[in-house]
Copies of this chain bind each other. A is one copy, B any other.
Amino acid sequence: MRKRTIEDYVELVYDLQKGKKRVHTNDIASSLSINPASVTEIFQKLNAEGYVSYKKYSGIKLTDKGKNIALRIKKKHNTLKEFLILLGIDSKIAENDACEMEHILHPSTMDTIIKFVEVIKKCEVTPFWLERLKGYVRSGKLSKCPPEIYELCQNFQKIKD
């Protein structure tokens, strides 16, 4: 696996913190299958950089700074997952890929994807191209674009030019 970033930990702490006051070394350790001793080091680092407040032997708690970052990333994560699921990708895989993508995409790419999801979600009917895509992924066969659709697009294009 790639090296885990501060963002990864902050996000995880946020999730584990739900319904408890503080997050303890063992919570993270068992959740990531790493050694509690390693988690102590991570806590110290997160604390030093102001993402959490840490008291020896009593776990950590996200600071406002940490919470903001967590929320920012989780928003990205959810949008990306939604995006992938929209395209027909299995939700477990979407979850995973979103997890990777959330750290690497350029803000403007993120912005486009956010708007993409928004546009598709605003449609009351499943867009036609999406039906075609899903069918193609499922069967390996790409159905023909119905001439009505084609004509419409063509007309709209003419209007623009």
Residues of A near any B CB (own CB < 8 A):
2-3, 84, 87-90, 93-94, 96-97, 100-101, 104-106, 108-109, 111-113, 115-116, 118-120, 122-129, 131-133, 136-137, 142, 145-146, 148-150, 152-154, 156-157, 160
**Known: A131-B156, A152-B128. Contact between A93 and B108, CB under 8 A?**
yes
Q: Which B residues lie within 8 Å of A136 (CB)?
A: 115, 118-119
Q: Which B residues lie within 8 Å of A97 (CB)?
A: 104-106, 109
Determine how many copies of this chain the complex contains. 2
Q: Bound state CA distance, A104 and B84, in angstroms?
A: 14
- How far apart are A144's CB and chain B's nearest CB, in angstroms? 10
- 7 A-B residue pairs with Cβ-Cβ distance under 8 Å, sorted by A, are A97-B106, A112-B137, A115-B142, A123-B145, A125-B157, A126-B157, A148-B152
Known pairs A97-B104, A97-B106, A119-B129 / 4 extra A-B pairs, C-beta < 8 Å: A87-B113, A100-B104, A112-B133, A116-B133
**Known: A129-B129, A150-B124, A152-B149. Contact between A89 and B115, CB under 8 A?**
no
- How far apart are A44's CB and chain B's nearest CB, in angstroms? 22
Q: Which B residues lie within 8 Å of A104 (CB)?
A: 2, 97, 100-101, 104
- Among B88, B106, B129, which residue has its beta carbon within 8 angstroms of that of A120? B129
Q: Are B100 and A122 within 8 A (Cβ)?
A: no
Q: Which B residues lie within 8 Å of A96 (CB)?
A: 106
